[in-house]
Amino acid sequence: MTAPPAGSGAGPARPGWDGDDLKAIRTLRALGRSVQRHFTGRRQALELLEVAVVAQEHVLLLGPPGTGKTDLVSRFAAGLGTHPFIRLLTRFTEPAELFGPMDVSAFRDGRHEVRTENMLPEASIVFLDEVFQCGSPILNTLLTVMNERLFRHGGGTVPVPLISLVGASNALPRDPSLLAFADRFLLRLHVAPVAESRLDELLAAHFAPPQPDAAQRADGQTYVDKESLDRLGRQVARVDLSGASAAYRALIRELLGQGVTLSDRRIIRGTRLVAAAAMLDERALAVPGDLWPLRHFWSDPVHEPVVAEAVSRFAGTEGPRRPQERPPHQLITDARVLFRQLGSSPSPSATEATLRGLNTLRLELEGHHPRDEAVYHELSTIITDTLEFLPR
Please indicate, yes or no, if residue 285 is contained in any of the structural domains: yes
**pTM higher than the cut 0.75:** no
For residue 243, the enclosing domain spans 239-315
Residue 298 falls inside a structural domain: yes
Q: Mean per-residue pLDDT for 158-180?
A: 89
Decide if pLDDT at 131 tops 80.
Answer: yes
The answer to whether residues 262 and 175 belong to one domain is no
Residue that is last in its domain, among 315, 336, 355: 315
**Same structural domain for residues 182 and 248?**
no
In contact, 300 and 320? CB cutoff 8 Å: no
- The share of the chain scoring above pLDDT 70, in percent, equals 84
151 inside domain: yes
Cα-Cα end-to-end distance for the chain: 12
> Are 106 and 51 part of one and the same domain?
yes
Q: Lowest mean pLDDT of 66-70, 151-155, 221-225, 301-305, name the range.
A: 221-225
Domain shared by 65 and 112, yes or no: yes
Kindly indicate the confidence band of residue 292, based on its pLDDT and cuts at 50, 70 and 90. Answer: very high
Domain boundary among the residues 166, 181, 198 is at 198
Which is nearest to 69 in space by CA: 188, 185, 170, 191? 191
286 with 275: CB under 8 angstroms?
yes
For residue 85, what is the domain's CATH number? 3.40.50.300
Least confident of 204-208, 213-217, 311-315: 213-217
Q: Is the pLDDT of residue 15 over 50?
A: no
Looking at residue 177, what is its pLDDT?
Answer: 79
pLDDT at 342: 79
Domain count, the chain: 3
Mean pLDDT of the chain, nearest integer: 82
Same domain, 173 and 30: yes
Q: Tell me the CB-side half-sphere exposure of residue 254, using CA atoms within 13 A.
A: 15
Whether 13 is in a domain gets the answer: no
pLDDT at 296: 94
d(CA 192, CA 42): 9
**Residue 336 reports pLDDT greater than 80:** yes
